[in-house]
């Protein structure tokens, strides 16, 4: 059945809206769960009631977000079934396994220990309660691990952990260990959780600074700020370090994403990073030099080659190379990849037709052709079969510019995220130095900076998520399953109706969340319980 | 410190994987191949980050004089 592209965009918008709303709560939960565990550990070690009060205040705020994070996450699961049923059917055997583990970890481990941690203060011993708080934090973060393993598969599907089964026409798992330990997924996990730690630390620092500015709850605020500044400083530095490794993985596994994120239309040796610039959205085939692709730009020479390939003089392919091919570097033109993909689709069709009429010889011939090795690297043993390129068949008669995401969107999302990341390191560093020197309480300017910076990590994490997901387009599973072929062929009105239904629900939930949050913050530590 | 240096060396060791080598679709075959050991090492950076983060919190509280009884 043909897909209404208008409907596809609505389905994508609905999923993006749900993901972004869900992601307002997730990083906060990831970080706050550990900050609460830190506060409680200090309480248990010192035996001082003031630390218990600090723990309970931040735990209340954590609890509000925890509940909404869980609720909005469930909507995703339904959307996979309603709007993305073709995707779910094709990749369910691979994508479903980590998702199922996440469900078990999230709902069993988190629910059990959340109950003890939130409601067990007077019901269990101090040691049991502390253990529950730590296990809740570990469980929350393990949930993220499994989700990001599933997402890692979408970003970098390797035939080392799965293959396209000609009999079932589905991707099936062959190596669970390789799936869960693939560096793309692990790096994504580390980058996401450390961004969550940064976000929640900045929230605690900002609210503590607000109390100091108002002259309220001073002891509470100073101690909370010290914990947040220390954890935030370590976390924000780690985000940058692991972000570098993340960029390396992306540069080598998703060439269209890194080229779009840097506005690299024409491949270069010693490719630069554009520190600041205004990119144009151009048809890549027509671009002759990267200078014409920007209104203006300030570059850091050779940095993209260095960060992306660990060699300042390495070649980084541009979008044009990925469409027209580059013989010197062994990159094939998109048309050739699409023709092979089309052939693979025909082999699949022939195989099933032959099976239907009982012609085993024809079926075996079609199968052999489907899994034919078309490229091999002797050094690594990595092979490419026709089956691996089946997704490219979709693009045979399409506009070649569909093969990469919109450059300005990915460029801005990526650069804003990186810029804000450096601001967080600087802010935490300044705050940490002031706290250690004992001048933070008097430094109104720094306190104001901390307060106005509170929303910024949400912007950074949302843009980071956009870089990852818009940057992966036009694929749901990179290089394997096009987004246009993943969607459920629904009537446009159905998708539009549920879009506005969810939008209404999210607006109401968002307002309720903020209202409760402001009430708790306004009441302060003594009013929290 | 020894653990930190060992982790740094593993991290830098990953730099050696780089090469101007491409699959027909522009992916680097050396990175396309799943390095499970590197993936496991990356995973254990998570507990390391939490432990280092907590120790740094205690250090900050003591150094600032906000909590000496740790």
**Residue of A235, A98, A109 whose CA lies nearest to A162:** A98
- Can you tell me the ipTM of this complex? 0.92
Name the minimum distance, in Å, from the CA of A2 to any CA of chain B.
27
Q: Which residues pair with residue A268 across a beta bridge?
A: A316
Any chain B CB within 8 A of the CB of A177? Answer: yes
Q: Which residues of B touch A160 (CB under 8 A)?
A: 33-34
Using an 8 Å CB-CB cutoff, list chain B residues near A374: 24
Separation between Cα atoms, residue A449 and residue A454, nearest integer Å = 9
Whether pLDDT at A119 is above 80: yes
Q: Do B66 and A226 touch (CB under 8 A)?
A: yes
Select the residue from B7, B18, B26 to test the A interface by mutation, using most A Cβ atoms within 10 A.
Answer: B26
Look at B25 and A41 and tell me if their CB atoms are within 8 Å.
no
Task: Report phi then psi at A124, rounded to 5.
Answer: -125, 165
Show residues of chain A in contact with B52, CB under 8 Å.
Answer: 234
Q: Which residues contact B46 (CB under 8 A, 6 or more apart)?
A: A141, A189, A190, A193
Which residues in chain A have Cβ-Cβ distances shorter than 8 Å to B40? 181
Task: Tell me the three state secondary structure of residue A383.
Answer: strand
Q: Are A157 and A482 in contact (CB under 8 A)?
A: no
Query: Using 50, 70 and 90 to split pLDDT, how confident is the model at A259?
Result: very high
Instruction: Count CB atoms within 10 A of the CB of residue A209.
Output: 28
Please, are residues A244 and A307 in contact by the beta-carbon 8 Å criterion? yes
Q: Which residues of B touch A439 (CB under 8 A)?
A: none
What was the pLDDT predicted at A140? 92
Q: With contact defined as beta carbons under 8 Å apart, do B70 and B62 qualify?
A: yes
Query: pLDDT of A273-314, one tens digit each?
Result: 999 999 999 999 989 999 999 999 999 999 999 999 888 999
Contact B56 A194 (CB under 8 A): no
Confidence band (pLDDT; 50, 70, 90) for A232?
very high
Chain A contact probe: residue of B11, B53, B62 with most A CBs at under 10 A = B53
**In this complex, is the C-beta atom of A226 within 8 Å of any C-beta atom belonging to chain B?**
yes
Within 8 A of A270 by CB-CB distance, chain B residues are: none
How sure is the predictor about A364, in pLDDT bands with cuts at 50, 70 and 90? Answer: very high
Contacts of A392 in chain B (CB under 8 A): 25
| Interface touch B25/A186, C-beta < 8 Å | no
Q: Across all residues in chain A, what is the average pLDDT? A: 93
Q: How far is B10 from chain A (nearest CA, A)?
A: 12
**Per-residue CA distances from A45 to A39, A221, A489, B30, B49 (Å):** 10, 20, 58, 48, 21
As beta bridge partners, residue B30 has: none
A252: tokens are 């080598």
Residue ranges of chain B with per-residue pLDDT less than 50: none
Flag if A186 and B42 touch (Cβ within 8 Å).
yes
Q: Residues 401 to 440 of A: which have CB under 8 A from any B CB?
A: 432, 435-436, 438
Q: Is A384 on the interface with B (CB under 8 A)?
A: yes
Q: What is the pLDDT of residues A172-231, one digit of tens each?
A: 999 999 999 999 999 999 999 999 999 999 999 999 999 999 999 999 999 999 999 999
A271: left (phi over 0), alpha (psi -120 to 50) or beta: beta
Q: What is the mean pLDDT of residues A454-479?
A: 96
User: C-alpha angle with apex A359: A358 to A360, nearest 5 degrees?
Assistant: 95
Looking at the complex, report in whole angstroms how far the Cα of residue A497 sits from the nearest Cα belonging to chain B: 39
Tally A–B CB contacts below 8 A. Answer: 180
Cα of A18 to nearest chain B Cα, Å = 27
Q: Calculate how close chain B gets to A529, using CA atoms only, in Å.
A: 24
Residue A67 pLDDT grade (very low, low, confident, very high; cuts 50, 70, 90)? confident
Provide CB contacts within 8 A for B10, sequence distance 6+: B38, B41
Provide the whole-model pTM: 0.93
> Dihedrals φ, ψ of A440, to 5°?
-65, -40
- A218 touching B, CB under 8 A? no
pLDDT greater than 70 at residue A1? no
Q: Do B57 and A310 touch (CB under 8 A)?
A: no
* C-alpha distance from B2 to closest chain A C-alpha (Å): 19
CA nearest B59 in A: which residue? A230
Q: Is the pLDDT of residue A150 over 60?
A: yes
**pLDDT number for residue B70:** 86
* Structure token digits, residue A277: 């610039």
Cβ-in-10-Å burial (0-12, 13-18, 19+) of A298 comes to exposed
Neighbours of A235 (CB within 10 A): 29
Closest-CA residue of A relative to B64 is A436
Q: What is the dihedral of CA A481, A484, A489, A491, to 10 degrees?
A: 160
Please give the sequence-ordered ranges of beta strands (E in DSSP) within A192-293, or none if there are none.
268-269, 273-279
Residue from the list B21, B25, B36 with its beta carbon closest to the beta carbon of A177: B36
Would you state the pLDDT for residue A78?
86
Sorting pLDDT into bands at 50, 70 and 90, what band is A155?
Answer: very high
Beta bridge partners of A274: A299
Which residue, among A216, A215, A244, A236, has the nearest Cα to A431 in the 3D structure? A236
Of A72-81, A145-154, A237-246, A415-424, the least confident: A72-81
Percentage of chain A surpassing pLDDT 70?
98
Q: Give the residue-averaged pLDDT of A432-447.
A: 97
Cβ proximity of A402 and A395 under 8 Å: yes
Interchain pair B32, A182: CB under 8 A? no
* Mean pLDDT, residues A340-359 taken together: 95
Tokens representing A66 are 């925890």
């Amino acid at each position: 059945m043909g897909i209404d592209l208008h409907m596809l965009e609505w389905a994508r918008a609905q999923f993006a809206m749900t993901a972004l709303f869900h992601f307002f709560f997730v990083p906060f939960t990831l970080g706050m769960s550990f900050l609460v565990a830190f506060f409680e550990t200090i309480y248990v070690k010192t035996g001082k009631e003031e630390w218990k009060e600090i723990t309970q205040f931040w735990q209340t705020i954590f609890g509000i977000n925890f509940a909404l994070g869980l609720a909005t996450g469930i909507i995703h699961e339904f959307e996979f079934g309603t709007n993305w049923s073709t995707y779910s059917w094709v990749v369910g055997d691979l994508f479903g396994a980590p998702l199922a583990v996440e469900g078990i970890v999230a709902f069993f481990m988190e629910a059990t220990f959340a109950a003890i941690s939130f409601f067990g203060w007077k019901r269990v011993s101090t040691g049991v309660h502390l253990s529950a708080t730590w296990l809740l934090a570990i469980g929350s973060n393990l949930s993220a691990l499994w989700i990001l393993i599933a997402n890692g598969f979408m970003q970098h599907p390797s035939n080392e952990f799965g293959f396209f089964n000609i009999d079932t026409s589905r991707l099936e798992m062959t190596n669970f260990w390789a799936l869960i330990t693939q560096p793309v997924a692990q790096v994504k996990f580390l980058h996401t959780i450390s961004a969550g730690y940064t976000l929640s630390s900045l929230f605690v620092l900002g609210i503590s600074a607000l109390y100091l500015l108002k002259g309220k709850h001073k002891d509470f605020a100073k101690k909370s700020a010290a914990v947040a500044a220390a954890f935030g400083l370590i976390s924000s530095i780690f985000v940058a370090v692991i972000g570098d490794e993340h960029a390396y993985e992306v540069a080598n596994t998703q060439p269209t994403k890194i080229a779009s994120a840097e506005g690299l239309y024409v491949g270069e040796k010693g490719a630069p990073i554009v520190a600041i610039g205004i990119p144009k959205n151009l048809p890549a085939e027509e671009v002759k030099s990267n200078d014409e692709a920007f209104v203006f730009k300030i570059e850091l020479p050779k940095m993209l080659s260095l960060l992306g390939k660990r060699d300042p003089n390495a070649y980084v392919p541009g979008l044009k190379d990925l469409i027209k091919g580059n013989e010197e570097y062994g990159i094939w033109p998109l048309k050739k990849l699409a023709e092979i993909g089309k052939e693979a689709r025909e082999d699949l069709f022939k195989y099933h037709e032959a099976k239907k009429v009982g012609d085993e010889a024809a079926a075996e011939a079609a199968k052999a052709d489907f899994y034919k090795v078309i490229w091999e690297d002797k050094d690594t043993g990595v092979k490419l079969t026709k089956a691996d390129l089946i997704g490219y068949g979709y693009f045979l008669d399409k506009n070649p510019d569909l093969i990469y995401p919109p450059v300005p969107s990915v460029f801005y999302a990526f650069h804003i995220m990186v810029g804000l990341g450096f601001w967080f390191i600087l802010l935490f560093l300044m705050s940490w130095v002031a706290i250690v020197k004992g001048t933070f309480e008097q430094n109104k300017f720094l306190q104001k900076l901390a307060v106005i910076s509170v929303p910024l990590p949400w912007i950074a994490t949302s843009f980071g998520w956009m870089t990852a997901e818009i940057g992966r387009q036009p694929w749901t599973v990179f290089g394997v399953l096009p987004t246009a072929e993943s969607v459920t062929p629904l009537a446009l009105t159905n998708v539009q109706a549920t879009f506005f239904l969810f939008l209404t629900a999210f607006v109401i939930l968002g307002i309720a969340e903020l209202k409760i949050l402001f009430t708790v913050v306004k009441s302060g530590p003594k009013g929290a319980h | 410190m020894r653990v930190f240096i060992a982790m740094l060396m593993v991290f830098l060791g990953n730099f050696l994987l780089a090469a101007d080598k491409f699959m027909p679709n522009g992916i680097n075959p050396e990175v396309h191949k799943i390095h499970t050991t590197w993936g496991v090492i990356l995973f254990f950076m998570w507990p390391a980050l939490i432990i280092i983060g907590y120790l740094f919190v205690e250090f900050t509280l003591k150094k600032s004089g906000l909590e000496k009884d740790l």
